[in-house]
Chain A
Amino acid sequence: MTAQTVQKAVMPMRLDHRPGEVIDRGRELTFTWNGEEYPAYGGDTIISALAACGERIFSRSFKYHRPRGLLTASFLDPGCMVQVDDEPNVRGAHRRVEPGMVVSPQGVWPSLEYDVKSANRAFGRFLSAGFYYKTFIKPRRLWPLYRRMLRRFSAGGRVSAGPAQGYFDKRYAHPDVLVAGGGPAGMAAAVAAGRAGAQVLLVEEEYELGGHLRWGNELDALRVLREEVSRTPGVEVMVNSVVNGRYDDNWVAVMQRDLSHVQERLVKARAKTLVVAPGLIERPYVFEGNDTPGVILSTAARRLINLYAVKPGDRAVVFSANESGDAAAEDLRRSGVEVARVVDARRDGDILRAKGDGKGLRSVECADGAEIECDLLVTAAGWTAPTSLANMAGDRPVYDERAARFFPSILPEDLLATGGIAGDGTLDELLAHARATGQEAARRAVRTALRLRAGIPQRADEQEEPESGSSPVAIPELPISAHPALFRGKTHGIVDYSEDVTSKDLVAAEKEGYDSIELVKRYTTVTMGPTQGKLETVNAVAIMAEATGRTINETGTTVWRPPYSPITLGALAGRNFEPVRYSPMQPWHEIHGAKPLVAGAWIRPDHYGDPASEALNVRENVGIIDVTPLGKFDLRGPDVPKLLDHLYINRWDNLEVGAVRYGVMCLEDGVVFDDGVTGCLGPERYIMTTTSSGAAGVWEWIDHWLQTADPGWRIHVTPVTTAYASINVAGPKSRELLLRLSDGLDLSPEAFPYMRVREGRVAGVEGCFMWRIGFTGELSYEVHVPAAYGLHVWETLMQSGADLGVGPFGVEAQRILRLEKGHFIVGQDTDGLTGPYEVGLGRMVRLDKDDFAGKPELAWQSERDSRLRLVGLQPHDGSLVPPEASQIVENKNEIVGRITSSRMSPTLGRSICLGFVAQHLTTPGTKVTVRLPDGERIPASVTPHHAHYDPEGTRQRG
């Protein structure tokens, strides 16, 4: 056998070479379909390859599980949805075959050929429109059963249970002109716009530019247009991509699929002008049996023959109402298909029904009574203008009775339409219209660009000439050709192939009172399937018009919304950008086994293996903790004290150089917002610190007051959180350790007492400052060093303090230490209602200041007893650590407080807590009842101080 003979044996429907074919006969490959291996050529779609091998059934329908085959041989084909490897709902008539691809039918059981669920057909009359609502509404208790059953019957493929697959991407684009549709009109418009100087993005759903020219007889014109596109500078082409939506101000979503390295890319394009050139979509004809495998559209036949060299059948009937049907008949004849009859709708010919069996079409019954045996029925009944993008721009399409299709009506200034959507005519007429449209699109884009650029800062030498104004380009009118109005024949058939909605369903819905097309859509689900109305909307509207006695224009259309075609969740999500922040010491933390803690965007060391030991080491020796995330602000200017007085509840106008003061910020409602220390480093020079999580909020708060409190204030504020690496050196040996590293700084208690700040050199690094504060309750120094030297200083501290027992401690140890000391944490021990009086800071509130944020509310609060108070709590059983948020109750279940912080204290060997209790329970020694989450109640007592450890503060002041 020759190679050609072998090929004929395995691909019996494959034709000899076609002039416009897109398959690469030099690249043979195999893939698996339905468990068996099939051959294909490079460039074949899954379905074209299978059709070449004689396969005709590729899926089962949604509701009745009728066998389905080819219809459009394009992305839209509703009968060609397949599973490819782990990917469900793949458009088999669009997706190209890849070597080794495993393709399987979806939602069939046990097999595509013998689908048990096709028994639904026997109950078809019970499965009419709305049967879900009628059937499964009662009894409600059976709904879980119904749900399980319905899920078994649902169509669609299998989503992989594994983690997300594939790499999805995003991109931004700012074309002057975006052309949606790469047919002849789209190409001509793009070239014209590009030649006018515009940056153009030309988007085409198919793998190649050309539209209907690809499968027609004008290949020379196609070649010329493609060359023009490739030669025109400024024209970027995206094929296998689709414009999925048009939003305000021409924000256009493009789904790009022609990329080797990413599965899909969502292109967010802000087009100055959008040119809509989607061509026309061939409309199916509604009659009995119109979904039988072997009933296809004329464009499908032409695609199969001319692009993929596949013979669509052996004996055909052609139902033609236009040139496309006539051309399909010619293509069929040329490819060796016996055309048994051409039924010409223009001469009142009609089809009554298609008859078939489980394997496909067997005969066609014509309106004149003739029944013709055949395995192929090609229909050419008319066109649908995909006006989606125009609809999304606010346009409502208008039906033209003469052309039997809708047209856009009033388009916005930044949107133009060309090609089949705008009218008919010869190829030359279409191209002339498209070229003028492209030029006009470029002109409008220039006008938009000039308007936008007027708001961009320019140097004096870059001032642009004002817009000189240009005249609109004259766009010639396209003629509109007459076409028979063919929607439904004399029998009922499928209207929505995706949802298995018949014309009978629509008529029944109208009889039930659903006389609005929008209601019928929702009731019957017509146009709601994967094709999203592109094949079925006009037929549905026409059938509703017939049923209601209204005209098609009176009936109107449903609203087409984004997305134009179904879109993967992966593409919508895109790449997962999640900024993270690291301190300069992060490499050290990682090497030394720190367990990471995600604190907002910061990644911090939670602990290094044993937080209790880390805490004990701080109490006994010296520990260092990375506190770089602390918010830090550099404040300069003579009016900084005024700002501080306004932000904090306490007084700041007397803070002397070298001093550090603790402050609490409240919002205008008197709620504690943030806290921290601020030090005066020099005349008119301060550093403010905030909580780590509150830094961004404080920055906004400062900015707010700088702009609104007093415009005359002379203050500059710079966020410097990451300009300094911050290290808290804490423990009784901290002074000794720092003495070894601080060159020239007198660290004696007399020279550098508690709550003071000093600047100097640490570990050889200039420009450091440190202040003596004590969040841990120990003698401690917060050292702030220029960030690039943070790792150097940290490593030097570890090396120099080895003999002192220095060790790192993480956030968890710090939380234990501060709880032992009784320091509250904003956000942990406070909530959105907590004021300073509740947390025991009433003495800090200086109501004698002229004004500060929250003063009126705090003045009001100062005259009233606050509802709750923060107190120290000691469980009687020291081995029990009540979980945070445990309730404090009395009188059975009356809630009178809650635990805000709790830990086992390694220093004290017992549990310790902070919590809110009602006023009458605040007296030290008061016994309270803590209700644990499991309902158990344990006794605890209110302690004299928040601090469980060193309440006098002798250690931190040492």
Chain B
Amino acid sequence: MVEAAPIARSPIAQAAPTTIKHGWEVSARRSAADLKIIDCTPLAKILVLASPDGEVARALGVPFGRAARDPHGTLVVGSGPGEWLLLATPGTSPAVTQRVDEVQDEGLVSVFDATHGRAIMRITGAKAPDLLAKVCAIDLADEVTPNGAAFRSSVAKLVTDVVRDDSGGSRSYLLHCERSSGQYLFDALIDAGDEFGIEVDGFVDPGKRGVHRV
């Protein structure tokens, strides 16, 4: 039998130096740039499918097109009609799944661990909307996509879920896509952000604060 502990890897090549956190290979690079991009793929990603009128929907409390944190620090994203994506600290998929499973809902409820199926990255900085405006046609003004807005759109011609999740007064967006296109999206964002001085920042364990914020 093989003894070596398996290492989970993001689809995005990690900027040197690298380290292992929660069994994931992550970049240990730290950037002080005004505009940063972070590969957050190690986050636990739980997909929930349930009736939009059922108990699960009420428990999650977030409608389609919006995102908010629950008391556990999990970012609940209303990613579609009757569809939610829950983003949580790496390695917490079983706990998050259990919490959803415990909700008594008479309708059909499916909980799927999508941690390995999605790539997720975060762009933070005042220029983040300017960067996104080069690759995404959605209006990123406060009035249209305020903090907590969630939408699915084409980003650099790729179907991408975008969540505005500001941090400390700074604009911040989570972008997630199918895992196989993660490197492509990451590269496209860095290319678009080059004129704004974007730098890669390493993933930091968000701990009890919930989903990693910068």
Residues of A near any B CB (own CB < 8 A): 169-174, 199, 259, 261-262, 268, 270, 449, 452-453, 456-457, 459, 462, 575, 577-584, 587, 601-602, 628-629, 634, 636-638, 714-716, 718, 720-724, 740-741, 743, 763-765, 767, 786-789, 791-793, 796, 800
Q: Which 6 A-B pairs have the closest CB atoms?
A: A723-B117, A457-B65, A581-B180, A788-B8, A174-B139, A716-B110
Residues of B near any A CB (own CB < 8 A): 1-11, 13, 24, 41, 47, 49, 63-66, 68, 78, 107-108, 110, 112-118, 133-141, 143-144, 146, 148, 156-158, 178-181, 183-185, 188, 191, 194-195
Contacts of B141 in A (CB 8 A): 174, 199
Given A199-B141, A453-B144, A462-B146, residue A171 in contact with residue B9 (CB < 8 A): no
* Measured CA separation A262–B192 after assembly (Å): 11
Q: Is the CB of B180 within 8 A of A583?
A: yes
Which of B4, B178, B179 is most buried by chain A, counting CB atoms within 10 A of its CB? B179
CB-based nearest A residue for B64: A457
Could you list 10 A-B pairs, sorted by A, with CB under 8 Å? A259-B195, A268-B137, A270-B139, A453-B144, A638-B108, A714-B107, A714-B108, A722-B180, A741-B1, A764-B5
Q: Is the CB of A584 within 8 A of B117?
A: no
Q: Is the CB of B134 within 8 A of A169?
A: yes
Contacts of B114 in A (CB 8 A): 718, 720, 723
* Measured CA separation A581–B158 after assembly (Å): 11
* Measured CA separation A876–B141 after assembly (Å): 71
Contacts of B116 in A (CB 8 A): 723-724, 786-789
Q: Is the CB of A261 within 8 A of B1?
A: no
B159 → chain A closest CB, angstroms: 9
Q: Is the CB of B183 within 8 A of A743?
A: no
CB-based nearest A residue for B137: A172
Give the residue of A637, A721, A722, A724 whose beta carbon is less than 8 angstroms from that of B110: A637
A412 → chain B closest CB, angstroms: 21
Give the residue of B49, B108, B180 whose beta carbon is less than 8 angstroms from that of A582: B180
Contacts of A170 in B (CB 8 A): 134
Contacts of B8 in A (CB 8 A): 786, 788-789, 792
Q: Is the CB of A765 within 8 A of B6?
A: yes
Given A456-B65, A577-B157, A787-B117, residue A171 in contact with residue B2 (CB < 8 A): no
A453 → chain B closest CB, angstroms: 7
Contacts of A765 in B (CB 8 A): 6
Q: Is the CB of A581 within 8 A of B184?
A: yes
Q: Is the CB of B63 within 8 A of A459?
A: yes
Give the residue of B2, B180, B184 whose beta carbon is less than 8 angstroms from that of A764: B2
* Measured CA separation A576–B112 after assembly (Å): 35
Give the residue of B2, B13, B133, B158 whose beta carbon is less than 8 angstroms from that of A172: B133
* Measured CA separation A561–B63 after assembly (Å): 44
CB-based nearest B residue for A169: B134
Q: Is the CB of A718 within 8 A of B2?
A: no
Contacts of B1 in A (CB 8 A): 740-741, 743
CB-based nearest A residue for B148: A459
Q: Is the CB of B157 within 8 A of A763?
A: no
CB-based nearest B residue for A792: B6
Contacts of A792 in B (CB 8 A): 6-9
* Measured CA separation A325–B114 after assembly (Å): 73
A-B contact count (CB 8 A): 146
Q: Is the CB of A456 within 8 A of B144?
A: yes
Q: Is the CB of B181 within 8 A of A796?
A: no
* Measured CA separation A6–B178 after assembly (Å): 66
Q: Is the CB of B2 within 8 A of A800?
A: yes
Contacts of B11 in A (CB 8 A): 582, 584, 787
Contacts of B148 in A (CB 8 A): 459
Contacts of A459 in B (CB 8 A): 63, 66, 68, 148
Contacts of A628 in B (CB 8 A): 180
Q: Is the CB of A718 within 8 A of B110?
A: yes
Label chain B's interface by main secondary structure: loop
Give the residue of A580, A723, A724, A788 whose beta carbon is less than 8 angstroms from that of B24: A788
Contacts of B117 in A (CB 8 A): 720-724, 787
CB-based nearest B residue for A446: B143
A234 → chain B closest CB, angstroms: 11
9 additional contacts (CB under 8 A) given A459-B148, A718-B112: A171-B133, A172-B136, A199-B141, A457-B63, A716-B49, A786-B8, A787-B11, A788-B41, A796-B2
Q: Is the CB of B6 within 8 A of A453?
A: no
CB-based nearest A residue for B195: A261
Given A457-B65, A579-B157, residue A173 in contact with residue B179 (CB < 8 A): no
* Measured CA separation A634–B112 after assembly (Å): 9
* Measured CA separation A715–B107 after assembly (Å): 11
CB-based nearest A residue for B107: A714
Contacts of B183 in A (CB 8 A): 582
B81 → chain A closest CB, angstroms: 10
Q: Is the CB of A577 within 8 A of B7?
A: no
Contacts of A724 in B (CB 8 A): 116-117
B147 → chain A closest CB, angstroms: 11
Contacts of A582 in B (CB 8 A): 11, 180, 183-184
* Measured CA separation A579–B159 after assembly (Å): 10
* Measured CA separation A261–B13 after assembly (Å): 26
Contacts of A584 in B (CB 8 A): 9, 11, 179
CB-based nearest A residue for B109: A716
Contacts of B64 in A (CB 8 A): 457
Q: Is the CB of A741 within 8 A of B2?
A: yes
* Measured CA separation A577–B4 after assembly (Å): 39
Q: Is the CB of A173 within 8 A of B133?
A: yes
B155 → chain A closest CB, angstroms: 9
* Measured CA separation A764–B8 after assembly (Å): 12
* Measured CA separation A776–B78 after assembly (Å): 43
Contacts of A173 in B (CB 8 A): 133
* Measured CA separation A171–B140 after assembly (Å): 12
Q: Is the CB of A579 within 8 A of B10?
A: no
Given A172-B133, A577-B157, residue A787 in contact with residue B179 (CB < 8 A): yes
Q: Is the CB of A788 within 8 A of B9?
A: yes
Given A634-B112, A741-B1, residue A581 in contact with residue B6 (CB < 8 A): no
CB-based nearest A residue for B187: A580
Contacts of B13 in A (CB 8 A): 587
* Measured CA separation A192–B3 after assembly (Å): 71
Q: Is the CB of B66 within 8 A of A457?
A: yes
Contacts of A583 in B (CB 8 A): 180
Which of B78, B138, B180 is most buried by chain A, counting CB atoms within 10 A of its CB? B180
Contacts of A789 in B (CB 8 A): 6-9, 116
* Measured CA separation A457–B139 after assembly (Å): 14
Contacts of B9 in A (CB 8 A): 584, 788-789, 791-792
Q: Is the CB of A579 within 8 A of B144?
A: no
Contacts of B63 in A (CB 8 A): 457, 459
Contacts of B191 in A (CB 8 A): 575
Q: Is the CB of B6 within 8 A of A579?
A: no
* Measured CA separation A577–B159 after assembly (Å): 12
* Measured CA separation A171–B196 after assembly (Å): 14
B173 → chain A closest CB, angstroms: 15
B14 → chain A closest CB, angstroms: 11
* Measured CA separation A808–B118 after assembly (Å): 26
Contacts of A261 in B (CB 8 A): 194-195
* Measured CA separation A741–B141 after assembly (Å): 52
Contacts of B2 in A (CB 8 A): 740-741, 763-764, 796, 800
Contacts of A457 in B (CB 8 A): 63-66, 78
* Measured CA separation A174–B130 after assembly (Å): 12
Given A173-B133, A453-B144, residue A722 in contact with residue B179 (CB < 8 A): yes
* Measured CA separation A203–B179 after assembly (Å): 40
CB-based nearest B residue for A766: B6
CB-based nearest A residue for B5: A764
* Measured CA separation A176–B168 after assembly (Å): 27
Q: Is the CB of B10 within 8 A of A788?
A: yes
* Measured CA separation A579–B64 after assembly (Å): 26
B80 → chain A closest CB, angstroms: 11
A681 → chain B closest CB, angstroms: 13
CB-based nearest B residue for A457: B65
Contacts of B138 in A (CB 8 A): 172
Contacts of A722 in B (CB 8 A): 117-118, 178-180
